[in-house]
């Protein structure tokens, strides 16, 4: 599947062009014939014989951008002066900054912001640690923690190369939920050291968002941090994905008139995201789920199962299925892919039950070509923004953390995750719901507020909103 030109790979080409009536049309035609999409054209200067032109266009990637520039350079009377990658320009100097919320204009301000006035605030917090939530940045700040071992579709690229992604995550927290998030890539992959480090920095934060940490290490890290800390620990690759998948599936089943408890679900992928999606679906009422990985169906008699796969085998596959993904896809109502690109074809989807649902979420290339899948499935969703029904974590994590912070929650539980999924699904009204619109846009104005309210309510209903000063956990810290 050839990717479409995208603004994420857009360039601006600055040129000197010999002045003539067809100058501009020659430039745009050349770019379009080379497969680019012109998004902006500006004349930057003009003389009697030459004009300066900036053309911005979307490309399919670096190689394609070079081909477009080469085609422009071949035009008579065109001199390419500079080519700018717009994405790299956006990242220059990083995407975040720290700004003071209070002015420091004179000695009075200085004496309250810093010494001697600040000492009174310190003493108040020492006497009552819970006051840190009201008197410091802890109230609205989370840490975005990674070790860079499972970054997007890039894999193990290390903490430094992961920093732009963590910055982007922090920017999304601010944009969609007004949360101050700080990126913390750690220069270690040792589980014990990661756990110790996060515990050590936790006093400054009201929550921890784990990001892009490879499985199965991520399971142990999350479990140990949840046990050690009295602030919520949320692994977005797991739980953010699970929330959005459950929301999308809830609405998709409504469109095709099926019930979660009755459908046959086949999953491809038993890693961090797949396991979290599975657990949340089971908690929400799914009963017939078969999970496959690279070695086929995960079942109790399969040798070499680790602890995570053993749990999966013991809680799924009620019909005792074995064999391959393709074999088990026949007559299934739902396919959920969180695995690898191009492992299925449209013919495989054709074997599924009538009014089937396909969520192929491997990125950037899904498990099955969406166009092929749509020939046979009633509803198709992917992780891509250039297809309908994008199953995108940004629909979940800002609202989830907004709710957790507003509730002063000490933990995250499955009741909160299910509540978030139901709230997200509810942002698509019955009048709006159709096969091409089962999840809202990330810019839907009510997404964050609805998810946040649902999570806050669930936190209070399950007792997680109580800040337990004096508890065993608090004393351990």
Residues belonging to the active site: 114, 169
Work out the angle at residue 230's Cα, subtended by the Cα atoms of residues 280 and 217, and round it to the nearest 5 degrees.
55
Neighbours of 248 (CB within 10 A): 27
- What is the C-alpha separation between 142 and 208, in angstroms, rounded? 6
Beta strand residue intervals within 19-68, DSSP E: 37-46, 50-59
Complete edge-to-edge strand list for the sheet that includes strand 37-46: 37-46, 50-59, 6-18, 78-85
Q: φ and ψ at 153, to 5 degrees?
A: -95, 15
Alpha helices in 138-270 (DSSP H): 158-177, 191-201, 217-228, 241-256
Integer Cα distance of 455 and 239 in angstroms: 13
Question: Could you tell me if residue 61 is left (phi over 0), alpha (psi between -120 and 50 degrees) or otherwise beta?
Answer: left
Closest to 297 measured CA to CA, from 322, 314, 280, 274: 322
Determine if the peptide bond prior to 391 is cis (ω within 30°).
no
415 in Cβ contact with 465 (< 8 Å): no
Q: In Å, how far from its chain's centre is CA 343?
A: 23
Contact 384, 391 (CB under 8 A): no
Class of residue 21 by CB neighbours under 10 A (exposed 0-12, middle 13-18, buried 19+): exposed
| CA 442 – CA 394 distance, rounded (Å) | 7
């Amino acid at each position: 599947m050839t990717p479409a030109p995208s603004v994420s790979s857009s360039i601006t080409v600055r040129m000197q062009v010999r002045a003539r009536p067809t100058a501009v049309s020659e430039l745009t035609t050349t770019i379009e014939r080379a497969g680019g999409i012109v998004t902006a054209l500006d004349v930057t200067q003009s003389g009697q014989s030459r004009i300066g032109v900036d053309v911005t266009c979307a490309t399919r990637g670096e190689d394609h951008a070079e081909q477009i520039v080469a085609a422009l350079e071949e035009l008579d009377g065109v001199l390419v002066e500079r080519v700018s990658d717009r994405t790299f320009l956006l990242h220059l100097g990083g995407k975040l900054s720290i700004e003071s919320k209070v002015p420091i204009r004179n000695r009075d301000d200085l004496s309250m912001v810093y010494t001697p006035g600040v000492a009174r605030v310190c003493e108040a917090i020492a006497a009552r640690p819970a006051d840190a939530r009201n008197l410091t940045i802890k109230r609205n700040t989370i840490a975005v923690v990674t070790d860079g071992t499972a970054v997007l579709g890039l894999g193990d690229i290390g903490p430094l190369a992961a920093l732009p992604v963590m910055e982007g995550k922090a920017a999304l927290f601010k944009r969609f939920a007004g949360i101050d998030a700080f990126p913390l890539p750690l220069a270690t992959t040792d589980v014990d050291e990661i756990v110790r480090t996060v515990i050590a920095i936790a006093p400054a934060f009201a929550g921890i968002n784990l990001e892009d940490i490879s499985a199965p290490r991520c399971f142990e890290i999350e479990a140990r941090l949840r046990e050690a800390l009295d602030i919520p620990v949320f692994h977005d690759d797991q739980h953010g994905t699970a929330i959005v998948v459950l929301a999308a599936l809830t609405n998709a089943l409504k469109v095709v008139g099926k019930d979660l408890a009755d459908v046959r679900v086949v999953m491809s992928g038993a890693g961090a995201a797949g396991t979290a999606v599975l657990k949340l679906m089971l908690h929400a009422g799914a009963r017939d789920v078969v999970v496959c990985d690279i070695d086929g169906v995960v079942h109790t008699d399969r040798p070499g199962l680790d602890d995570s796969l053993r749990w999966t085998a013991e809680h799924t596959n009620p019909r005792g299925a074995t064999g391959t993904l393709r074999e088990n896809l026949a007559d299934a109502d739902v396919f959920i892919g969180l695995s690898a690109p191009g492992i299925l074809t449209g013919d495989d989807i054709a074997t599924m039950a009538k009014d089937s649902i396909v969520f192929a979420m491997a990125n950037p290339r899904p498990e099955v070509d969406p166009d092929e899948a749509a020939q046979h499935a009633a509803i198709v969703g992917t992780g891509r923004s250039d297809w309908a029904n994008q199953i995108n974590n940004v629909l979940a994590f800002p609202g989830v953390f907004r709710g957790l912070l507003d509730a002063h929650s000490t933990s995250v539980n499955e009741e909160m995750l299910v509540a978030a999924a139901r709230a997200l699904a509810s942002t698509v009204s019955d009048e709006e719901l159709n096969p091409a619109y089962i999840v809202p846009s990330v810019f839907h104005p009510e997404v964050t507020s609805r998810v946040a309210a649902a999570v806050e309510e669930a936190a209070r209903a399950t007792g997680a909103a109580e800040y337990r000063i004096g508890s065993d956990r608090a004393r351990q810290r």
